[in-house]
Chains A and B, each alone.
Chain A
Protein backbone atom coordinates (compact mmCIF):
# COMPACT_ATOMS: atom_id res chain seq x y z
CA UNK A 1 0.00 0.00 0.00
CA UNK A 2 2.93 2.38 0.53
CA UNK A 3 5.36 0.99 -1.97
CA UNK A 4 6.19 1.50 -5.64
CA UNK A 5 3.66 3.39 -7.68
CA UNK A 6 1.51 3.95 -4.61
CA UNK A 7 4.07 6.43 -3.25
CA UNK A 8 3.36 8.72 -6.19
CA UNK A 9 -0.36 8.35 -5.64
CA UNK A 10 -0.05 9.39 -2.00
CA UNK A 11 2.19 12.34 -2.85
CA UNK A 12 0.02 13.66 -5.66
CA UNK A 13 -3.17 13.17 -3.69
CA UNK A 14 -1.76 15.12 -0.75
CA UNK A 15 -0.76 18.02 -2.98
CA UNK A 16 -4.19 17.99 -4.60
CA UNK A 17 -5.92 17.98 -1.23
CA UNK A 18 -3.91 20.96 0.03
CA UNK A 19 -4.73 23.05 -3.03
CA UNK A 20 -8.37 21.96 -3.08
CA UNK A 21 -8.71 22.84 0.59
CA UNK A 22 -7.17 26.30 0.07
CA UNK A 23 -8.97 27.27 -3.11
CA UNK A 24 -12.19 25.60 -2.01
CA UNK A 25 -12.31 27.74 1.10
CA UNK A 26 -12.75 30.83 -1.05
CA UNK A 27 -15.12 29.02 -3.39
CA UNK A 28 -17.43 28.34 -0.46
CA UNK A 29 -16.96 31.80 1.00
CA UNK A 30 -17.88 33.46 -2.29
CA UNK A 31 -20.73 31.08 -2.99
CA UNK A 32 -19.30 30.15 -6.36
CA UNK A 33 -19.80 26.40 -6.17
CA UNK A 34 -21.26 26.35 -9.64
CA UNK A 35 -18.14 27.87 -11.17
CA UNK A 36 -15.96 25.43 -9.25
CA UNK A 37 -18.03 22.66 -10.78
CA UNK A 38 -18.14 24.09 -14.28
CA UNK A 39 -14.47 24.92 -14.83
CA UNK A 40 -12.99 21.48 -14.07
CA UNK A 41 -15.89 19.68 -15.68
CA UNK A 42 -15.57 21.65 -18.89
CA UNK A 43 -11.82 21.17 -19.06
CA UNK A 44 -12.51 17.50 -19.71
CA UNK A 45 -12.84 18.47 -23.38
CA UNK A 46 -9.32 19.87 -23.29
CA UNK A 47 -7.84 16.61 -22.14
CA UNK A 48 -9.52 14.65 -24.90
CA UNK A 49 -8.49 17.27 -27.46
CA UNK A 50 -4.91 17.08 -26.22
CA UNK A 51 -4.80 13.34 -26.64
CA UNK A 52 -6.41 13.77 -30.06
CA UNK A 53 -3.58 15.97 -31.33
CA UNK A 54 -0.95 14.18 -29.27
CA UNK A 55 0.20 16.69 -26.66
CA UNK A 56 0.38 16.41 -22.88
CA UNK A 57 -3.11 16.27 -21.38
CA UNK A 58 -2.02 18.77 -18.73
CA UNK A 59 -1.73 21.43 -21.46
CA UNK A 60 -5.19 20.56 -22.73
CA UNK A 61 -6.61 20.85 -19.24
CA UNK A 62 -4.91 24.18 -18.67
CA UNK A 63 -5.99 25.79 -21.93
CA UNK A 64 -9.61 24.71 -21.60
CA UNK A 65 -9.85 25.55 -17.91
CA UNK A 66 -8.56 29.05 -18.60
CA UNK A 67 -10.79 29.44 -21.65
CA UNK A 68 -13.80 28.34 -19.62
CA UNK A 69 -13.01 30.64 -16.71
CA UNK A 70 -12.54 33.65 -19.00
CA UNK A 71 -15.74 32.90 -20.95
CA UNK A 72 -17.72 32.64 -17.74
CA UNK A 73 -16.18 35.91 -16.58
CA UNK A 74 -17.00 37.67 -19.85
CA UNK A 75 -20.54 36.34 -20.28
CA UNK A 76 -21.36 36.69 -16.60
CA UNK A 77 -20.95 40.48 -16.72
CA UNK A 78 -24.08 40.74 -18.77
CA UNK A 79 -27.13 38.65 -18.20
CA UNK A 80 -27.44 36.04 -15.51
CA UNK A 81 -24.28 34.61 -14.07
CA UNK A 82 -25.64 31.12 -13.49
CA UNK A 83 -27.00 30.87 -17.02
CA UNK A 84 -23.66 31.98 -18.44
CA UNK A 85 -21.87 29.39 -16.35
CA UNK A 86 -24.25 26.61 -17.36
CA UNK A 87 -24.05 27.38 -21.05
CA UNK A 88 -20.27 27.72 -21.08
CA UNK A 89 -20.02 24.40 -19.32
CA UNK A 90 -22.26 22.54 -21.74
CA UNK A 91 -20.55 24.09 -24.73
CA UNK A 92 -17.22 22.72 -23.53
CA UNK A 93 -18.75 19.36 -22.70
CA UNK A 94 -20.35 19.28 -26.14
CA UNK A 95 -16.91 19.80 -27.64
CA UNK A 96 -15.75 17.00 -25.37
CA UNK A 97 -18.42 14.72 -26.81
CA UNK A 98 -17.23 15.55 -30.31
CA UNK A 99 -13.57 14.92 -29.46
CA UNK A 100 -14.43 11.62 -27.80
CA UNK A 101 -16.24 10.46 -30.91
CA UNK A 102 -13.36 11.56 -33.15
CA UNK A 103 -10.52 10.16 -31.10
CA UNK A 104 -9.31 6.66 -30.70
CA UNK A 105 -9.62 6.94 -26.94
CA UNK A 106 -12.00 4.38 -25.68
CA UNK A 107 -14.41 4.22 -22.82
CA UNK A 108 -11.95 3.36 -20.02
CA UNK A 109 -9.93 6.53 -20.68
CA UNK A 110 -13.10 8.63 -20.74
CA UNK A 111 -14.12 7.08 -17.45
CA UNK A 112 -10.71 7.83 -15.95
CA UNK A 113 -10.88 11.46 -17.07
CA UNK A 114 -14.35 11.94 -15.64
CA UNK A 115 -13.97 10.03 -12.41
CA UNK A 116 -10.23 10.00 -11.83
CA UNK A 117 -7.57 7.36 -11.66
CA UNK A 118 -5.36 8.22 -8.77
CA UNK A 119 -3.75 4.79 -8.66
CA UNK A 120 -2.26 5.29 -12.10
CA UNK A 121 -0.23 8.42 -11.32
CA UNK A 122 3.33 8.41 -12.58
CA UNK A 123 6.43 10.39 -11.63
CA UNK A 124 6.07 12.46 -14.79
CA UNK A 125 2.77 13.79 -13.46
CA UNK A 126 4.12 14.40 -9.99
CA UNK A 127 6.59 17.15 -10.84
CA UNK A 128 4.27 19.44 -12.87
CA UNK A 129 1.57 18.92 -10.25
CA UNK A 130 3.90 20.04 -7.49
CA UNK A 131 5.01 23.05 -9.55
CA UNK A 132 1.46 24.16 -10.25
CA UNK A 133 0.56 23.67 -6.61
CA UNK A 134 3.29 26.08 -5.54
CA UNK A 135 2.07 28.67 -8.03
CA UNK A 136 -1.46 28.20 -6.73
CA UNK A 137 -0.48 28.64 -3.10
CA UNK A 138 1.52 31.78 -3.89
CA UNK A 139 -1.39 33.21 -5.87
CA UNK A 140 -3.78 32.57 -2.99
CA UNK A 141 -1.33 34.14 -0.54
CA UNK A 142 -1.05 37.26 -2.72
CA UNK A 143 -4.79 37.47 -3.24
CA UNK A 144 -5.69 36.64 0.35
CA UNK A 145 -6.63 40.10 1.62
CA UNK A 146 -8.50 41.43 -1.44
CA UNK A 147 -10.28 38.10 -1.83
CA UNK A 148 -11.29 38.03 1.80
CA UNK A 149 -12.55 41.62 1.72
CA UNK A 150 -14.44 41.38 -1.54
CA UNK A 151 -15.98 38.07 -0.49
CA UNK A 152 -17.16 39.10 2.95
CA UNK A 153 -17.62 42.86 2.74
CA UNK A 154 -17.96 43.89 -0.93
CA UNK A 155 -18.82 47.50 -0.02
CA UNK A 156 -15.74 47.98 2.11
CA UNK A 157 -13.59 46.43 -0.60
CA UNK A 158 -14.97 48.82 -3.17
CA UNK A 159 -14.43 51.77 -0.88
CA UNK A 160 -10.80 50.75 -0.50
CA UNK A 161 -10.36 50.76 -4.25
CA UNK A 162 -10.33 46.99 -4.84
CA UNK A 163 -11.80 46.39 -8.27
CA UNK A 164 -14.39 43.65 -7.90
CA UNK A 165 -14.25 42.58 -11.53
CA UNK A 166 -10.49 42.18 -11.38
CA UNK A 167 -10.58 40.15 -8.18
CA UNK A 168 -13.32 37.98 -9.68
CA UNK A 169 -11.23 37.34 -12.76
CA UNK A 170 -8.08 36.63 -10.75
CA UNK A 171 -10.01 34.18 -8.61
CA UNK A 172 -11.43 32.43 -11.68
CA UNK A 173 -7.89 32.09 -12.98
CA UNK A 174 -6.79 30.50 -9.70
CA UNK A 175 -9.69 28.05 -9.90
CA UNK A 176 -8.64 27.22 -13.45
CA UNK A 177 -5.06 26.68 -12.32
CA UNK A 178 -6.09 24.49 -9.40
CA UNK A 179 -8.28 22.52 -11.75
CA UNK A 180 -5.51 21.91 -14.21
CA UNK A 181 -3.33 20.16 -11.69
CA UNK A 182 -5.96 18.32 -9.70
CA UNK A 183 -8.20 16.99 -12.43
CA UNK A 184 -5.92 14.32 -13.80
CA UNK A 185 -5.86 12.75 -10.36
CA UNK A 186 -9.41 12.76 -9.09
CA UNK A 187 -11.26 13.36 -12.32
CA UNK A 188 -13.22 16.30 -13.70
CA UNK A 189 -16.42 15.40 -11.93
CA UNK A 190 -15.00 14.90 -8.45
CA UNK A 191 -12.41 17.56 -7.72
CA UNK A 192 -15.32 19.82 -7.16
CA UNK A 193 -16.83 17.73 -4.36
CA UNK A 194 -13.49 17.92 -2.55
CA UNK A 195 -13.37 21.70 -3.12
CA UNK A 196 -16.82 22.13 -1.59
CA UNK A 197 -17.18 19.42 1.03
CA UNK A 198 -14.01 20.02 3.04
CA UNK A 199 -14.25 23.83 3.36
CA UNK A 200 -18.00 23.71 4.01
CA UNK A 201 -17.38 21.30 6.87
CA UNK A 202 -14.44 23.37 8.15
CA UNK A 203 -16.59 26.47 8.29
CA UNK A 204 -18.97 24.74 10.66
CA UNK A 205 -16.16 23.91 13.05
CA UNK A 206 -14.01 27.06 13.08
CA UNK A 207 -14.93 30.72 13.41
CA UNK A 208 -11.66 32.44 12.59
CA UNK A 209 -10.97 32.69 8.85
CA UNK A 210 -7.38 31.48 9.19
CA UNK A 211 -8.17 28.50 11.37
CA UNK A 212 -11.09 27.60 9.09
CA UNK A 213 -8.69 27.73 6.16
CA UNK A 214 -6.23 25.46 7.93
CA UNK A 215 -8.96 23.07 9.01
CA UNK A 216 -10.28 22.97 5.45
CA UNK A 217 -6.89 21.75 4.25
CA UNK A 218 -6.71 19.17 7.04
CA UNK A 219 -10.17 17.80 6.26
CA UNK A 220 -9.39 17.65 2.54
CA UNK A 221 -6.21 15.70 3.30
CA UNK A 222 -8.12 13.31 5.57
CA UNK A 223 -10.78 12.71 2.91
CA UNK A 224 -8.25 12.00 0.18
CA UNK A 225 -6.07 9.74 2.32
CA UNK A 226 -9.08 7.76 3.53
CA UNK A 227 -10.36 7.52 -0.04
CA UNK A 228 -7.07 6.13 -1.34
CA UNK A 229 -6.77 3.62 1.47
CA UNK A 230 -10.34 2.43 1.02
CA UNK A 231 -9.99 2.30 -2.73
CA UNK A 232 -6.81 0.26 -2.40
CA UNK A 233 -8.51 -2.18 -0.06
CA UNK A 234 -11.83 -2.59 -1.86
CA UNK A 235 -10.79 -1.94 -5.45
CA UNK A 236 -13.75 0.43 -5.85
CA UNK A 237 -13.08 3.74 -7.64
CA UNK A 238 -11.43 6.55 -5.64
CA UNK A 239 -14.07 8.99 -6.87
CA UNK A 240 -16.80 7.10 -5.09
CA UNK A 241 -15.05 7.49 -1.75
CA UNK A 242 -14.07 11.13 -2.32
CA UNK A 243 -17.63 12.08 -3.24
CA UNK A 244 -19.37 10.28 -0.42
CA UNK A 245 -16.79 11.17 2.26
CA UNK A 246 -17.00 14.86 1.31
CA UNK A 247 -20.76 14.77 1.68
CA UNK A 248 -20.42 12.92 4.98
CA UNK A 249 -18.01 15.57 6.34
CA UNK A 250 -20.45 18.29 5.35
CA UNK A 251 -23.29 16.44 7.11
CA UNK A 252 -21.22 16.10 10.29
CA UNK A 253 -20.41 19.82 10.11
CA UNK A 254 -24.07 20.72 9.75
CA UNK A 255 -25.06 18.62 12.74
CA UNK A 256 -22.22 20.11 14.82
CA UNK A 257 -23.16 23.67 13.85
CA UNK A 258 -26.82 23.10 14.67
CA UNK A 259 -25.93 21.61 18.02
CA UNK A 260 -23.57 24.47 18.87
CA UNK A 261 -26.07 27.10 17.80
CA UNK A 262 -28.53 25.65 20.27
CA UNK A 263 -25.86 25.74 22.98
CA UNK A 264 -24.89 29.33 22.10
CA UNK A 265 -28.38 30.79 22.06
CA UNK A 266 -28.36 31.09 25.83
CA UNK A 267 -25.00 32.80 25.97
CA UNK A 268 -25.63 35.09 23.02
CA UNK A 269 -22.36 34.51 21.20
CA UNK A 270 -22.45 34.47 17.44
CA UNK A 271 -19.54 33.01 15.50
CA UNK A 272 -17.72 35.77 13.72
CA UNK A 273 -17.33 34.19 10.31
CA UNK A 274 -20.91 32.98 10.23
CA UNK A 275 -22.12 36.43 11.14
CA UNK A 276 -20.04 38.04 8.41
CA UNK A 277 -21.24 35.66 5.74
CA UNK A 278 -24.80 36.15 6.91
CA UNK A 279 -24.37 39.86 6.49
CA UNK A 280 -23.02 39.26 3.02
CA UNK A 281 -26.03 37.13 2.11
CA UNK A 282 -28.34 39.91 3.17
CA UNK A 283 -26.45 42.47 1.13
CA UNK A 284 -27.07 40.54 -2.06
Chain B
Protein backbone atom coordinates (compact mmCIF):
# COMPACT_ATOMS: atom_id res chain seq x y z
CA UNK B 1 0.00 0.00 0.00
CA UNK B 2 1.25 3.45 -0.85
CA UNK B 3 2.33 5.71 1.97
CA UNK B 4 -0.49 8.33 2.07
CA UNK B 5 -3.14 5.65 1.78
CA UNK B 6 -1.61 3.77 4.67
CA UNK B 7 -1.81 6.92 6.75
CA UNK B 8 -5.57 7.03 6.28
CA UNK B 9 -6.34 3.36 6.56
CA UNK B 10 -4.45 1.77 9.40
CA UNK B 11 -2.86 -1.61 8.68
CA UNK B 12 -5.33 -4.47 8.73
CA UNK B 13 -8.33 -2.23 8.10
CA UNK B 14 -9.61 -3.96 4.99
CA UNK B 15 -8.97 -7.50 6.13
CA UNK B 16 -10.61 -7.11 9.54
CA UNK B 17 -13.86 -9.02 9.73
CA UNK B 18 -15.13 -6.71 12.46
CA UNK B 19 -14.77 -3.73 10.14
CA UNK B 20 -16.47 -5.57 7.30
CA UNK B 21 -19.48 -6.46 9.44
CA UNK B 22 -19.69 -2.92 10.82
CA UNK B 23 -19.52 -1.44 7.32
CA UNK B 24 -22.22 -3.79 6.00
CA UNK B 25 -24.66 -3.32 8.87
CA UNK B 26 -24.20 0.45 9.00
CA UNK B 27 -24.71 0.79 5.25
CA UNK B 28 -27.95 -1.19 5.37
CA UNK B 29 -29.15 0.81 8.39
CA UNK B 30 -28.21 4.09 6.70
CA UNK B 31 -30.28 3.23 3.61
CA UNK B 32 -33.35 2.39 5.71
CA UNK B 33 -32.90 5.46 7.91
CA UNK B 34 -32.46 7.70 4.87
CA UNK B 35 -35.69 6.39 3.35
CA UNK B 36 -37.74 6.64 6.51
CA UNK B 37 -35.95 9.78 7.74
CA UNK B 38 -37.04 11.95 4.81
CA UNK B 39 -40.66 11.31 5.76
CA UNK B 40 -39.93 11.89 9.45
CA UNK B 41 -38.53 15.33 8.67
CA UNK B 42 -41.38 16.22 6.31
CA UNK B 43 -43.95 15.07 8.90
CA UNK B 44 -42.12 16.82 11.75
CA UNK B 45 -41.87 13.62 13.80
CA UNK B 46 -38.29 13.94 15.00
CA UNK B 47 -39.43 13.73 18.59
CA UNK B 48 -41.26 10.46 17.92
CA UNK B 49 -38.08 9.05 16.38
CA UNK B 50 -36.00 10.22 19.30
CA UNK B 51 -38.51 8.81 21.80
CA UNK B 52 -38.67 5.43 20.07
CA UNK B 53 -34.88 5.33 20.03
CA UNK B 54 -34.68 5.99 23.76
CA UNK B 55 -37.41 3.48 24.48
CA UNK B 56 -35.60 0.78 22.55
CA UNK B 57 -33.19 0.89 25.51
CA UNK B 58 -36.03 -0.79 27.39
CA UNK B 59 -36.21 -3.53 24.78
CA UNK B 60 -32.47 -3.97 24.60
CA UNK B 61 -32.11 -4.29 28.36
CA UNK B 62 -35.12 -6.60 28.49
CA UNK B 63 -33.63 -8.80 25.78
CA UNK B 64 -30.36 -8.88 27.68
CA UNK B 65 -32.29 -9.98 30.76
CA UNK B 66 -34.00 -12.74 28.79
CA UNK B 67 -30.82 -13.74 27.00
CA UNK B 68 -32.03 -12.78 23.51
CA UNK B 69 -30.26 -10.68 20.87
CA UNK B 70 -30.52 -6.90 21.31
CA UNK B 71 -31.87 -6.29 17.80
CA UNK B 72 -35.04 -8.24 18.62
CA UNK B 73 -35.46 -6.32 21.85
CA UNK B 74 -35.04 -2.98 20.05
CA UNK B 75 -37.56 -3.99 17.42
CA UNK B 76 -40.21 -5.27 19.82
CA UNK B 77 -39.94 -2.27 22.17
CA UNK B 78 -40.04 0.27 19.35
CA UNK B 79 -43.05 -1.37 17.69
CA UNK B 80 -44.92 -1.67 21.00
CA UNK B 81 -44.16 1.93 21.97
CA UNK B 82 -45.25 3.24 18.57
CA UNK B 83 -48.54 1.36 18.96
CA UNK B 84 -49.16 3.00 22.35
CA UNK B 85 -48.31 6.44 20.95
CA UNK B 86 -50.72 5.89 18.09
CA UNK B 87 -53.44 4.86 20.52
CA UNK B 88 -53.11 7.86 22.83
CA UNK B 89 -53.11 10.33 20.01
CA UNK B 90 -49.91 11.00 18.12
CA UNK B 91 -51.93 11.64 14.96
CA UNK B 92 -53.26 15.00 16.16
CA UNK B 93 -50.87 17.95 16.02
CA UNK B 94 -52.21 19.21 19.34
CA UNK B 95 -50.90 17.30 22.31
CA UNK B 96 -48.77 15.15 20.04
CA UNK B 97 -45.49 15.87 21.73
CA UNK B 98 -47.16 15.38 25.09
CA UNK B 99 -48.33 11.87 24.10
CA UNK B 100 -44.85 11.10 22.83
CA UNK B 101 -43.28 12.45 25.99
CA UNK B 102 -45.48 10.46 28.34
CA UNK B 103 -44.74 7.18 26.56
CA UNK B 104 -41.07 8.09 26.53
CA UNK B 105 -41.06 8.74 30.27
CA UNK B 106 -42.79 5.46 31.10
CA UNK B 107 -40.49 3.56 28.72
CA UNK B 108 -37.38 5.03 30.29
CA UNK B 109 -38.66 4.15 33.72
CA UNK B 110 -38.93 0.53 32.63
CA UNK B 111 -35.45 0.75 31.10
CA UNK B 112 -34.11 1.89 34.46
CA UNK B 113 -35.71 -1.14 36.10
CA UNK B 114 -34.46 -3.63 33.49
CA UNK B 115 -30.92 -2.27 33.59
CA UNK B 116 -30.99 -2.50 37.36
CA UNK B 117 -32.21 -6.10 37.18
CA UNK B 118 -29.54 -6.85 34.56
CA UNK B 119 -26.89 -5.69 36.97
CA UNK B 120 -28.42 -7.78 39.76
CA UNK B 121 -29.00 -11.07 37.93
CA UNK B 122 -26.23 -11.07 35.37
CA UNK B 123 -23.73 -9.41 37.61
CA UNK B 124 -22.55 -7.17 34.80
CA UNK B 125 -22.83 -3.42 34.73
CA UNK B 126 -21.60 -2.90 31.17
CA UNK B 127 -25.03 -3.31 29.62
CA UNK B 128 -25.94 0.36 30.15
CA UNK B 129 -23.02 1.80 28.22
CA UNK B 130 -23.04 -0.76 25.42
CA UNK B 131 -26.78 -0.42 24.84
CA UNK B 132 -27.04 3.31 25.19
CA UNK B 133 -24.01 4.33 23.17
CA UNK B 134 -23.67 1.21 21.04
CA UNK B 135 -20.63 -0.03 19.26
CA UNK B 136 -20.58 -1.03 15.65
CA UNK B 137 -17.44 -3.05 16.28
CA UNK B 138 -19.32 -5.32 18.69
CA UNK B 139 -21.80 -6.50 16.04
CA UNK B 140 -21.37 -10.14 15.08
CA UNK B 141 -21.76 -11.41 11.54
CA UNK B 142 -24.55 -13.75 12.62
CA UNK B 143 -26.90 -10.79 13.02
CA UNK B 144 -26.58 -9.69 9.38
CA UNK B 145 -29.52 -11.82 8.07
CA UNK B 146 -31.87 -10.35 10.69
CA UNK B 147 -30.67 -6.83 9.87
CA UNK B 148 -31.33 -7.38 6.17
CA UNK B 149 -34.76 -8.91 6.84
CA UNK B 150 -35.78 -5.95 9.03
CA UNK B 151 -34.52 -3.49 6.43
CA UNK B 152 -36.38 -5.18 3.60
CA UNK B 153 -39.57 -5.04 5.66
CA UNK B 154 -39.22 -1.32 6.39
CA UNK B 155 -38.38 -0.38 2.81
CA UNK B 156 -41.22 -2.52 1.41
CA UNK B 157 -43.59 -0.82 3.83
CA UNK B 158 -42.55 2.68 2.75
CA UNK B 159 -42.62 1.68 -0.92
CA UNK B 160 -46.10 0.20 -0.53
CA UNK B 161 -47.35 3.37 1.17
CA UNK B 162 -45.71 5.46 -1.56
CA UNK B 163 -47.65 8.45 -2.86
CA UNK B 164 -50.43 8.40 -0.24
CA UNK B 165 -47.77 8.64 2.46
CA UNK B 166 -46.07 11.56 0.75
CA UNK B 167 -49.33 13.40 0.20
CA UNK B 168 -50.59 12.84 3.74
CA UNK B 169 -47.20 14.00 5.07
CA UNK B 170 -47.16 17.22 3.07
CA UNK B 171 -50.83 18.06 3.43
CA UNK B 172 -53.07 15.87 5.59
CA UNK B 173 -56.16 17.91 4.64
CA UNK B 174 -55.64 17.43 0.94
CA UNK B 175 -54.96 13.72 1.44
CA UNK B 176 -58.11 13.29 3.47
CA UNK B 177 -60.10 15.14 0.81
CA UNK B 178 -58.82 12.70 -1.79
CA UNK B 179 -60.05 9.77 0.24
CA UNK B 180 -56.70 8.60 1.62
CA UNK B 181 -57.09 6.95 5.06
CA UNK B 182 -54.65 9.37 6.72
CA UNK B 183 -54.68 7.75 10.13
CA UNK B 184 -54.07 4.25 8.73
CA UNK B 185 -51.20 5.54 6.59
CA UNK B 186 -49.78 7.28 9.65
CA UNK B 187 -49.98 4.11 11.73
CA UNK B 188 -48.30 2.03 9.01
CA UNK B 189 -45.56 4.62 8.71
CA UNK B 190 -45.05 4.54 12.46
CA UNK B 191 -44.34 0.82 12.10
CA UNK B 192 -41.69 1.50 9.44
CA UNK B 193 -40.28 4.20 11.73
CA UNK B 194 -40.08 1.71 14.60
CA UNK B 195 -38.10 -0.75 12.48
CA UNK B 196 -35.75 1.98 11.26
CA UNK B 197 -35.22 3.07 14.86
CA UNK B 198 -34.35 -0.48 15.89
CA UNK B 199 -31.74 -0.69 13.13
CA UNK B 200 -30.27 2.71 13.98
CA UNK B 201 -30.16 1.80 17.67
CA UNK B 202 -28.41 -1.44 16.80
CA UNK B 203 -25.82 0.47 14.78
CA UNK B 204 -24.97 3.55 16.83
CA UNK B 205 -26.73 2.97 20.16
CA UNK B 206 -30.21 3.68 21.44
CA UNK B 207 -29.95 7.30 22.52
CA UNK B 208 -27.81 8.25 19.52
CA UNK B 209 -30.06 6.56 16.95
CA UNK B 210 -31.83 9.84 16.15
CA UNK B 211 -28.66 11.14 14.52
CA UNK B 212 -28.74 8.51 11.78
CA UNK B 213 -32.50 8.75 11.47
CA UNK B 214 -32.97 12.51 11.23
CA UNK B 215 -29.59 14.05 10.42
CA UNK B 216 -28.90 12.79 6.88
CA UNK B 217 -32.53 13.28 5.88
CA UNK B 218 -32.63 16.86 7.18
CA UNK B 219 -29.37 17.60 5.37
CA UNK B 220 -30.67 16.05 2.14
CA UNK B 221 -33.91 18.02 2.30
CA UNK B 222 -31.91 21.22 2.50
CA UNK B 223 -30.16 20.30 -0.75
CA UNK B 224 -33.09 19.11 -2.86
CA UNK B 225 -36.85 19.45 -2.86
CA UNK B 226 -37.59 16.21 -4.71
CA UNK B 227 -38.43 13.42 -2.22
CA UNK B 228 -36.89 10.67 -4.36
CA UNK B 229 -33.63 12.54 -4.72
CA UNK B 230 -33.70 13.45 -1.04
CA UNK B 231 -34.00 9.76 -0.10
CA UNK B 232 -31.04 8.85 -2.31
CA UNK B 233 -28.98 11.73 -0.93
CA UNK B 234 -29.92 10.90 2.68
CA UNK B 235 -28.87 7.27 2.21
CA UNK B 236 -25.58 8.37 0.64
CA UNK B 237 -24.88 10.87 3.44
CA UNK B 238 -25.70 8.26 6.08
CA UNK B 239 -23.39 5.67 4.52
CA UNK B 240 -20.61 8.24 4.11
CA UNK B 241 -20.89 9.32 7.76
CA UNK B 242 -20.89 5.73 9.03
CA UNK B 243 -17.97 4.58 6.93
CA UNK B 244 -15.90 7.67 7.65
CA UNK B 245 -16.72 7.18 11.31
CA UNK B 246 -15.50 3.58 11.13
CA UNK B 247 -12.23 4.67 9.51
CA UNK B 248 -11.64 7.43 12.05
CA UNK B 249 -12.47 5.24 15.00
CA UNK B 250 -10.21 2.49 13.69
CA UNK B 251 -7.40 5.01 13.25
CA UNK B 252 -7.96 6.58 16.66
CA UNK B 253 -6.56 3.44 18.22
CA UNK B 254 -3.13 4.75 17.28
CA UNK B 255 -3.71 8.33 18.47
CA UNK B 256 -3.02 7.43 22.06
CA UNK B 257 -0.45 4.72 22.27
CA UNK B 258 -0.59 4.57 26.01
CA UNK B 259 -4.34 4.13 26.41
CA UNK B 260 -4.84 1.15 24.11
CA UNK B 261 -8.39 2.32 23.48
CA UNK B 262 -10.04 3.70 20.40
CA UNK B 263 -12.54 6.55 20.36
CA UNK B 264 -16.14 5.33 19.98
CA UNK B 265 -17.45 4.96 16.41
CA UNK B 266 -20.80 6.43 17.41
CA UNK B 267 -19.14 9.68 18.48
CA UNK B 268 -17.54 10.14 15.06
CA UNK B 269 -20.70 9.22 13.17
CA UNK B 270 -22.84 11.65 15.17
CA UNK B 271 -20.32 14.48 14.88
CA UNK B 272 -19.93 13.99 11.12
CA UNK B 273 -23.70 14.01 10.64
CA UNK B 274 -24.02 17.22 12.68
CA UNK B 275 -21.24 18.92 10.71
CA UNK B 276 -22.94 17.87 7.47
CA UNK B 277 -26.17 19.47 8.63
CA UNK B 278 -24.42 22.73 9.55
CA UNK B 279 -22.54 22.86 6.22
CA UNK B 280 -25.69 22.20 4.21
CA UNK B 281 -27.21 25.35 5.66
CA UNK B 282 -24.38 27.56 4.40
CA UNK B 283 -25.30 27.90 0.69
CA UNK B 284 -28.84 28.83 1.62
CA UNK B 285 -27.67 31.50 3.99
CA UNK B 286 -25.18 32.92 1.51
CA UNK B 287 -27.85 33.04 -1.17
CA UNK B 288 -30.19 34.84 1.19
CA UNK B 289 -27.53 37.34 2.12
CA UNK B 290 -26.78 38.03 -1.53
CA UNK B 291 -30.49 38.42 -2.24
CA UNK B 292 -30.88 40.79 0.66
CA UNK B 293 -28.08 42.97 -0.67
CA UNK B 294 -29.61 42.98 -4.15
CA UNK B 295 -33.17 43.88 -3.26
CA UNK B 296 -35.47 44.73 -0.40
CA UNK B 297 -34.78 41.88 2.00
CA UNK B 298 -37.43 41.98 4.65
CA UNK B 299 -40.53 40.30 3.17
CA UNK B 300 -38.68 37.51 1.37
CA UNK B 301 -36.47 36.67 4.30
CA UNK B 302 -39.35 36.58 6.71
CA UNK B 303 -41.54 34.46 4.50
CA UNK B 304 -39.02 31.74 3.75
Chain A positions near chain B (C-beta within 8 angstroms): 28, 31-34, 36-38, 41, 78-80, 82-83, 85-87, 89-91, 93-98, 100-102, 106-108, 110-111, 114-116, 187, 189-190, 192-194, 196-197, 200, 236-237, 239-244, 246-247, 250, 254, 277-278, 281, 284
Contact = CB atoms under 8 A, between A and B. Distances in A.
A94 B211 contact: yes
Contacts of B45: 82
B207 A237 contact: no
A100 B133 contact: yes
Contact of A200 (B98, B107, B110, B273): B98
A97 B113 contact: no
B109 to A, nearest CB: 2
B64 interface: no
A239 B41 CA distance: 31
30 contacts: A33-B98, A82-B45, A85-B47, A86-B46, A86-B211, A86-B215, A87-B273, A87-B277, A89-B50, A90-B215, A90-B274, A93-B208, A93-B270, A97-B270, A98-B263, A98-B264, A98-B267, A111-B125, A111-B128, A115-B115, A189-B54, A196-B102, A243-B108, A243-B110, A243-B112, A244-B106, A246-B102, A246-B105, A278-B94, A284-B93
Contacts of A236: 113, 116
B285 to A, nearest CB: 8
Contacts of A284: 93
Contacts of B115: 111, 115, 237
Contacts of A78: 281, 285
Interface string B47-78: 10111001000000000000000000000000
Nearest to B209: A90
Nearest to B47: A34
A189 B210 contact: no
A93 B106 contact: no
Contacts of B263: 98, 101-102
Nearest to B215: A87
B68 to A, nearest CB: 21
B247 to A, nearest CB: 16
Contact of A86 (B47, B105, B205): B47
B102 A197 contact: yes
B266 interface: yes
B225 to A, nearest CB: 14
Interface in B90-112: 93-94, 97-98, 100-112
Contact of A190 (B46, B88, B108, B205): B108
B214 interface: yes
A87 B208 CA distance: 10
B102 A250 contact: yes
B218 A190 contact: no
A128 B126 CA distance: 31
Nearest to B89: A254
A200 B101 CA distance: 10
Contact of B101 (A37, A41, A95): A37
Given A31-B98, A78-B281, A100-B129, A193 B49 contact: no
A34 B105 contact: no
A86 B49 contact: yes
B132 interface: yes
B101 A82 contact: no
Contacts of A237: 112-113, 115-116
Contacts of A32: 97
Contacts of B266: 94, 97
B222 interface: yes
A240 B47 contact: no
Interface in B112-161: 112-113, 115-116, 119, 125-129, 132-133
B44 interface: yes
A187 B188 CA distance: 34
Contacts of B88: 254
